[in-house]
A and B are shown apart, each in its own frame.
Chain A
Amino acid sequence: MTPLELTGSLGIVGYGLAAIGPGIGVGLIFGSVIQGTARQPEARGAMMGTAWIGFAVTEALAIIGIALAFVFG
């Protein structure tokens, strides 16, 4: 007896794996922003500007992952 049979594409599982790294990266970025804001609240604006760019660059990996999951799916 087959207890569980998966049909269709494994691409989304691959996307889930691909999202681990960017998830950790985005968490590190905003964790650092929170720490920086706690240490020096008036520098928040400058930090947020850099943080959004870093967030966008990190997130690009997950974005490429989901695009490829559909391309090869």
Chain B
Amino acid sequence: MSGFLSGLVPLETGGFEAPGVHSFDVPPLFESVPWFDKYMLQAVVSVILILAFWLIMARKNAMVPSKSQYIGETAYFFVRNTIARDMIGHDFRRYLPLLIALFSFVLVNNLWGVFPLTLLPTPSHVGWPYGLAILVWVIYNGVGISKFGLFGYLRNTSLPAGVPVFMWPLIIPLEFVSNIIVRPITLSLRLFANMFAGHLLVLVFVLGGEYLLLHSASIINKTAGVVSLIVSMAIFGLEIFVQSLQAFIFTVLTAQYISSASAEEH
């Protein structure tokens, strides 16, 4: 950066380390167990919380629901009616436990990104969405194969009904690549990139605002720092929306994949 511009851009004068990919490399919690890092801790805690939530909700089923039972039933019916029944159709009950587990796991782990004690969404480390997407990939392919057999499923999934024969060489590879290979990649990358970009956005506003406010002399920069810190609260609000939306979309797409894998030819 040339000397003229460095006065105008205070963050380039040195000393400020911009957030980047390295911000997501957290050290392990204990030196002796290298695989147990903050992401792992958050995932384990989220599983315990989700189990406790659903067990407590399911324990006392009163005819006239109490407040806590009402919350649990609303969450349950949201996944059951809005996601499972609308997407899969009449045979949706078999897949309901999977969808509810996926939805609560992704939602709680996304929301770790705005929870004050953690402030790091678990899926912002790409291994976690990969694991979830592999699980979903195995399940929807397994559903299709167990219903139609291997060749029946491959034929169903890579050849839509009613395609004329001269289009087959074009359609079959396209559909195969799109349904078998691209689906798990986009499913995991969508969740990962939303969490990654959202967390990066928060880091830019908070760290940049902190640097402008505390480490620069001019009053204009300090004002900009205060504005940036205030706007970061709005970014947190946006993040809550994006995190809930991504949990919803992840579950909806899982249901959609299962439904298209088990759909009859028509």
Q: In the complex, what residues of B have CB within 8 A of residue A56's CB?
A: 190, 249, 252-253
Interface residues on chain A, size class: 10 to 19
Docked Cα-Cα span, A70 to B124, in Å, equals: 13
- Expressed in whole angstroms, the minimum distance between the Cβ of B166 and any Cβ of chain A is 27
Docked Cα-Cα span, A60 to B186, in Å, equals: 6
Within 8 Å of chain A (Cβ to Cβ): is B167? no
CB–CB A64/B189 < 8 A:
yes
Docked Cα-Cα span, A52 to B87, in Å, equals: 12
Interface residues on chain B, size class: 20 to 34
- Expressed in whole angstroms, the minimum distance between the Cβ of A45 and any Cβ of chain B is 8
Q: In the complex, what residues of A have CB within 8 A of residue B50's CB?
A: none
Within 8 Å of chain A (Cβ to Cβ): is B114? no
- Expressed in whole angstroms, the minimum distance between the Cβ of A61 and any Cβ of chain B is 9
- Expressed in whole angstroms, the minimum distance between the Cβ of A66 and any Cβ of chain B is 5
- Expressed in whole angstroms, the minimum distance between the Cβ of A27 and any Cβ of chain B is 17
CB–CB A49/B86 < 8 A:
yes
- Expressed in whole angstroms, the minimum distance between the Cβ of A39 and any Cβ of chain B is 21
Q: In the complex, what residues of B have CB within 8 A of residue A53's CB?
A: 252-253, 256
A residues 30-73 in Cβ contact with B at 8 Å = 49, 52-53, 55-57, 59-60, 63-64, 66-67, 70
Q: In the complex, what residues of A have CB within 8 A of residue B62's CB?
A: none
CB–CB A67/B193 < 8 A:
yes
**Minimal Cβ-Cβ distance residue in B for A71:** B21
Within 8 Å of chain A (Cβ to Cβ): is B192? yes
CB–CB A52/B248 < 8 A:
yes
Q: In the complex, what residues of A have CB within 8 A of residue B1's CB?
A: 5, 7
CB–CB B190/A66 < 8 A:
no
Write out, one digit per residue, whether chain B residues 71-94 have a CB within 8 A of any chain A CB (1) or not (0): 000000000001000110000000
The answer to whether residues A66 and B197 also contact, given A2-B2, A52-B252, A53-B253 and a CB cut-off of 8 A, is yes
Q: In the complex, what residues of B have CB within 8 A of residue A13's CB?
A: none
**Minimal Cβ-Cβ distance residue in A for B83:** A49
B residues 1-24 in Cβ contact with A at 8 Å = 1-2, 5, 21
- Expressed in whole angstroms, the minimum distance between the Cβ of A55 and any Cβ of chain B is 8
Q: In the complex, what residues of A have CB within 8 A of residue B87's CB?
A: 49
- Expressed in whole angstroms, the minimum distance between the Cβ of A51 and any Cβ of chain B is 11
Instruction: Find the residue from A7, A55, A63, A64 having the highest chain B CB count within 10 A.
Output: A63
A70 partner, pick from B21, B249, B256, beta carbons under 8 A: B21
B interface with A by C-beta (< 8 Å): 1-2, 5, 21, 82, 86-87, 186, 189-190, 192-194, 196-197, 248-249, 252-253, 256
Which 3 A/B pairs are nearest by Cβ-Cβ distance?
Answer: A63-B193, A60-B186, A56-B249
Other 11 A-B pairs with CB < 8 A, given A56-B249, A67-B189, A67-B193: A1-B2, A3-B2, A52-B249, A52-B252, A53-B256, A56-B253, A60-B186, A63-B186, A64-B186, A66-B196, A70-B21
